[in-house]
Every structure is written in structure tokens, then in C-alpha cells.
Chain A
Amino acid sequence: DQQVKQNSPSLSVQEGRISILNCDYTNSMFDYFLWYKKYPAEGPTFLISISSIKDKNEDGRFTVFLNKSAKHLSLHIVPSQPGDSAVYFCAANPGGTSYGKLTFGQGTILTVHP
């Protein structure tokens, strides 16, 4: 049972345009969400996060939006750069634990063309 889903396996964007990566979840107990970026032959690295008490969090070119009623979050990258080409994972945490219990999506491969 995939509690976190990234339904687009891949996304192709032109340099300078906006990249929008989407993520849906089913567990209403999730209260903290994260995005990780992964380059080939490397482990995922933390990118940005958002708490369920917010609906938007911004960090430079990266903005995460959370729509709790729709159980949907998205990552916007503006402007996209070729170095952003990577696999992006969304992850969610139900809270109430002392350790990091993260549930990940399948990942979306982003390709930014020069």
C-alpha cells in the first residue's frame, strides 16, 4: 500500500522555466513533509520541508506547497537549471515518534534541458 505516491515517473523542462513536481498521500496522520534530491551514485540529500500547520515554505528557488484537504503537495523550482536534473523524492512523517519514520514516494526524474 503506497501511502505516498508520485504519479509522474519523469518530467522534462527547459532551462529557466518552472518545474513542478507533485506528490499525493493517503495517510491523514502525516504532519511533516520533506523533499529529497538524488543524483546518480549518491544517496538522497535533504532539500526542503514543510509542517502541516503551513501551506507554503520557500527557500531560494525552491517552494513547497501543501494542500491538506486534497492530501497533495508540490515542489516548485523557479527558474530551473540543468544542475537541478536529478531524482526527486517526497517523504512524509506521521509525527509522535522519537525517530525519523519517513514514508517515501517512488521518485520523479527531473531533466532540465539547456
Chain B
Amino acid sequence: SQTIHQWPATLVQPVGSPLSLECTVEGTSNPNLYWYRQAAGRGLQLLFYSVGIGQISSEVPQNLSASRPQDRQFILSSKKLLLSDSGFYLCAWSGLAPLQQFFGPGTRLTVL
């Protein structure tokens, strides 16, 4: 069966520090991968999606970047965090049915 892992579960970082969140998927090949963020009082917002290794599309301009170095690995990064980067970050994957997305447990990021 397929599983999706995210780490860390929680993270507290100072403003201006770098960020690296990792997501890995097991039990499937060539998945579509997604990074979402939920800010306080808002819905889940799609940040990035990837349909293959090295293929990244950004949905919104922002302080973050994403990379897909391997088929089942998706990384969310920032060189310098802003206060507004605080939120709940979710990684998801989909297969042949792209709208049925399977989410990881998420990372709660607090930027102080």
C-alpha cells in the first residue's frame, strides 16, 4: 500500500533562517506531488506541484521554492523565512486520478 511521510511534524524557526521540509512517498511510481499551506483562518492553498523529477510548477509567487530530486521525494525550501511563512504545510500525492489526493500528516511551522 502507499504511504506518505513528512518531517518534521513541528518546527519553530527564527525570521531569516533557512527552511527545508521533506516529503517522501512509498508504494507508488511517478506520482504527482503537491505542497499546500494552510495559514490561520484560510483554506489549504496549493503552493507547488510536480508531475515528474525536476519538474516544478509554482501556483503563487512567494518566498518558498520546491525541488523533486527523486521520483518519490519532494522538498520545500526557503533561504530566508518570513513571519508570513508560518502555517501548516501539507504534502500530497495523486496517481491516475489526479483529483483524489492523499495527504501526509503535515508540518506545523512557526516563524518567530
Contact = CB atoms under 8 A, between A and B. Distances in A.
Interface in B41-70: 41-46, 49, 51, 59
Interface string A44-55: 111001000000
Interface of A: 2, 4, 6, 32, 34, 36, 41-46, 49, 89, 91, 93, 97-107
Looking at chain B's contact residues, the main secondary structure is strand
A36 B100 CA distance: 10
Interface of B: 4, 6, 9, 32, 34, 36, 38, 41-46, 49, 51, 59, 90, 92, 94, 98-106
Nearest to B51: A99
Contacts of B32: 99-100
25 contacts: A2-B43, A4-B43, A6-B43, A34-B99, A36-B103, A41-B105, A43-B6, A43-B102, A43-B106, A44-B103, A46-B102, A49-B99, A49-B100, A93-B99, A98-B51, A99-B98, A100-B32, A100-B94, A100-B99, A100-B101, A101-B49, A101-B59, A102-B101, A105-B43, A106-B43
